[in-house]
Amino acid sequence: MSKAVWGLFLREWRIASRVGGGASVGAVFFLILVAIMPFAVGPNLALLAQIGPAILWVAALLATLLGLDRLFQGDHDDGSLDVLVNSGLPLELTVLVKCAAHWAASSAPLAILSPLFGLMLGMDAGPLALVAVTLVAGTPALTMIGAIGAALTVSLKRGGLLMAVLVLPLTIPVLIFGVAAASAASGGVSPLAPPLIMLCALSLGAIALAPFAAAAALRHVRD
């Protein structure tokens, strides 16, 4: 079973990181979202630095959702999902492994790059590493919640938009605690620990529960 798990992770990783796989596109999308913000907000460095954590988090949210709609759809379209369902691995575990590979290939690079983008928003360089930590803690929840939406829309040809509409409201708690933690990390008055702990709790909860919801959706939505 561990061979099957590792094999699936490696396959997903390879697909995401090869040409057209979407891992690098997510990072570039993140960069562009952050880069256009100063044009929209104007040249007020103090204001940019103040809303910088929020911009980073919204950009991370949208960049995460960008590639997630294909999480199961590719496998559905080419018939792989049929074979995966009967592979002997529980479907819940298959979902979890696919999410883990997607997170490692798409979301982890965003968190690692975020200090660089924070500098573009005029944020202080010192605490930016802590902002990256909040992204590492929170993005697993985004990926797992997104996986439920991806499973629900797996058989729809243009399911990406519907998935975003379904998923974005569910990500609000993550966004609230994520921005609170990032603001606290970058020099706010409130302490960092409470929102960061909540963020970790949301991620752990999503990792534990979302595979069951997504697997149930996959079983019922497929014809």
Partner 1 sequence: MRLSAQEIAIERGGRRILSGVSFSARAGEALLLVGPNGSGKSSLLRAIAGFLPLAEGAFALEGGAPEAGIGEQAHYLGHADALKSALTAGENLAFWADALGGDSTRAAWMAALDQLGLAHVADFPVQALSAGQKRRVALARLLAAPRPIWLLDEPTTALDLAAQRRFALVMRAHLAAGGLILAATHAPLDLDGAARLSLGDVPAAGAAA
Q: Nearer Cβ to partner 1, position 124 or 219?
A: 219
Contact assessment for residue 185 and residue 131, using Cβ atoms and an 8 Å cutoff: yes
Q: Nearer Cβ to partner 1, position 194 or 219?
A: 219
Least distance (Å) from partner 1 to the CB of residue 32? Answer: 24
42 binds partner 1 (CB under 8 A): no
Q: Which of 188, 185, 212 is nearest to 196 (CA)?
A: 185
Identify the residue whose tokens are 């974005």. 168
Least distance (Å) from partner 1 to the CB of residue 220? Answer: 10
Whole-angstrom distance, CA of residue 164 vs CA of residue 221: 18
Site for partner 1 in 5-24 (CB under 8 A): 6-8, 10-11, 14-15, 18-21
User: Which string of x and - marks every residue 71-90 that binds partner 1 (by CB under 8 A)?
Assistant: ---x--xxxx-xxxxxxxx-
The answer for 114, left when phi > 0, alpha when psi is -120 to 50, beta otherwise, is alpha
Q: Which of 190, 181, 197, 205 is nearest to 57 (CA)?
A: 181
Contact assessment for residue 185 and residue 57, using Cβ atoms and an 8 Å cutoff: no
Q: Nearer Cβ to partner 1, position 11 or 49?
A: 11
Q: Which residues bind partner 1 (CB under 8 A)?
A: 3-4, 6-8, 10-11, 14-15, 18-21, 74, 77-80, 82-89, 222-223
